[in-house]
Amino acid sequence: MNSLNDELEGVIGNKRRFLLLRITDVDTQEAMKLCGVNKTTYDSWCKDKRFVTVYRRREEFSSSSKTEAYKLLRRSNQLQAILLEEKIIKKLAEEIDSGELNLCKSFLGRDVYSKLVSELDHQPQIASLTWNQRILSLQGEEPKALPDNVIEGEIVGQG
């Protein structure tokens, strides 16, 4: 049997989301609401042969591919979140350039801005290496980490 993703090939957008919601046992009306579609749109989907073919098999998919449907919905939601974040960042950049800082002053704008700044300011911890360790790393060998009491190649605290 093909995977659910293969079976849904060619079904895109809200149609795909609707089918995945139905396969995960979401009620028809609730699935329509979550997809933001009305009865007229749903009726037009029912004229699409590919949609109808998959929709008629939803019980079969519900028993055999429900976990895959959840994963596909989660992946879709993550992509939508990334696209939304991109729009917010673009709007923030436009406001900064124009000097009109409406979104920047909002809680959402401050959260996005602080998240971005903290990611940009992150400094990875770099271990100090001795000359021997540097040579080993150039030769492709993995250098061993220095003990905590070594500063600039000198062992501190012994003596």
pTM for the full model?
0.53
pLDDT of residue 35: 87
Alpha-carbon torsion (19, 21, 25, 30), positive or negative: negative
pLDDT of residue 143: 53
pLDDT of residue 120: 57
pLDDT of residue 114: 74
pLDDT of residue 12: 79
CA-closest candidate to residue 132, choices 117, 123, 142, 122: 142
pLDDT of residue 121: 57
What are the residue ranges in the chain where pLDDT is below 70? 1, 104, 117-129, 131, 137, 139-159
Give CB contacts under 8 A, 24+ apart, made by 23-32.
Answer: 23/58, 23/61, 23/62, 23/65, 23/66, 23/69, 24/62, 24/66, 24/69, 24/70, 24/73, 25/62, 25/66
33-46 pLDDT, tens digit each: 988 899 999 888 88
Query: Domain boundaries in the chain?
Result: 4-69, 125-159
pLDDT of residue 38: 92
pLDDT of residue 119: 60
- Provide the 3-class DSSP secondary structure of residue 55: helix
Residue 71 CB partners (closer than 8 Å, separation 6+) = none
pLDDT of residue 76: 80
pLDDT of residue 64: 81
What are 111's two structure tokens? 């959260």
Distance between CA 55 and CA 23 in Å, rounded?
Answer: 9
